[in-house]
Amino acid sequence: MRKCALGIKWIEPFLEGRDKLKFCVRTRRSAKNFPKTSPEINFEVGSRIMAQLGPKGLVVNINESEFTLEIEIGQAKLSFS
């Protein structure tokens, strides 16, 4: 997933000089016919990011995140913010 690599590039600078960084992934799908649910996408993307950045201090915290990766899936577009 190339998009996960982009998420990693965005998050990694926030880890510098910190012991840990709490993060979460939130997905919205206006295209409800997309083959995965929002929680499934959150888990898949979050797992891939954690595999790379967990050893550097990234931790998942969906209630008190310091960094939120937002994914929006539309009919003909996929955007990150």
Query: Which CATH code for domain 2-80?
Result: 3.30.2300.10
More confident residue, 68 or 3: 68
- Tell me the C-alpha to C-alpha distance, in Å, between residue 14 and each of 11, 29, 41, 43, 49: 6, 27, 23, 21, 14
**pLDDT per position as a tens digit, 18-52:** 999 999 999 999 888 888 999 999 999 999 999 99
Could you tell me what percent of the chain has a pLDDT over 90?
Answer: 59
Distance CA 64, CA 19 (A): 16
Q: What is the DSSP letter of 54?
A: G
Q: What's the longest Cα–Cα distance across the chain?
A: 42
Which pLDDT value is given to residue 4?
73
Q: Considering the chain, what percentage of its residues have pLDDT values greater than 70?
A: 89
Task: Kindly state the DSSP code that residue 56 receives in the 8-state scheme.
Answer: G
User: For residue 11, how many other CB atoms are within 10 A of its CB?
Assistant: 18
